[in-house]
Structure 1
Amino acid sequence: MKFLIFAVCMAALALAENTYDSSTDDIDLSEVLGNERLVMSYSKCLLNKGPCTPEVKKLKDKLPEILETKCAKCTDKQKQMGKQLIQEIKSKHPDIWSDLAAHYDPQGKYRQSLEEFLKS
């Protein structure tokens, strides 16, 4: 019986480590994206041109892995938020999107998988 409880705990721990922290999943992206000052501040952080809030720093630290793994550790909510964020930035701030793409994907190796992600 103890082994079964131990095995269940280890499985739960393994599952928990296979997704990113969901503590920021309740952020209202519409509010953030509707605030020009926040958009500029957050984009400067992501581009190493300004200070970062702890939440944006977490994202910044994870971005290379997110791109590499096609968001494999993202929760469904994080995937939905990522799509919303990317689509809004691409359409309303193409200059920022261009800078972010050049910074995080200078060879364009993630472009196709990103487009597939947005369509999914």
Structure 2
Amino acid sequence: MKIILLTLCLGLAVLGQEQYESANDNFDISEVLTNERLLNAYAKCLLNKGPCTPEVKQVKDKLPEALATRCAKCTDKQKQMGKQLAQEVKKNHPEIWKQLVSMYDPQGKYQQAWQDFLKEN
């Protein structure tokens, strides 16, 4: 479950055969984490409460699969960014985190898998 905010920055395009596209792997996630306006805009998109940029819309479309597979098609860089984003948002923006969890994992079926994912190196 904690991969939710990975999707904020990755701008994943079309699903690949083996992995998601790595076109945006060099994205600077610190920009999102230090910009409240940007973080809130991305969160609103993911929560169906605001407009989406094309990149975040693509990510939003891939989110259910990424959650169900513990990001199996994510590149190593995407996994790293996802872990950082999830940890930061959960810690510093708990209300956004609660809303995302409520929307994307209302039954809590991904919780343990994502806790394990976040502990992996």
TM-score band, normalised by shorter chain: 0.7 to 0.9
Structure 1, unaligned stretches of length 5 or more?
1-15
Q: State the partner residue of 1:5.
A: none
Higher helix share: 1
CA-atom RMSD, angstroms?
Answer: 0.8
1-structure distance, mates of 2:23, 2:49? 26
Moved more, 94-103 or 54-63: 54-63
User: What is the CA-CA distance between 1:78 and the residue it aligns to?
Assistant: 0.5
Cα deviation, residue 32, structure 1: 1.3
Residue of structure 1 in register with 2:64 after alignment: 64
TM-score, length basis structure 1:
0.85
Distance 2:117 2:106 in 1: 19
Higher RCO structure (Cα 8 Å, ≥6 apart): 2
TM-score (norm 2): 0.84
Partner of 1:90: 90
Unpaired stretches in structure 2, ≥5 consecutive residues: 1-15
Report what 1:22 is aligned to: 22
1:76 to 2:49 alignment: no
Note the C-alpha offset of 1:23.
1.1
Q: What is the letter of the counterpart of residue 32 of structure 2?
A: V
Q: 1:115 and 1:62 mapped to 2: Cα distance?
A: 20
Aligned length: 105
- The answer as to whether partners of 1:24 and 1:55 remain within 8 angstroms in 2 is no
Larger radius of gyration: 1
The share of aligned pairs that are identical, in percent, is 66
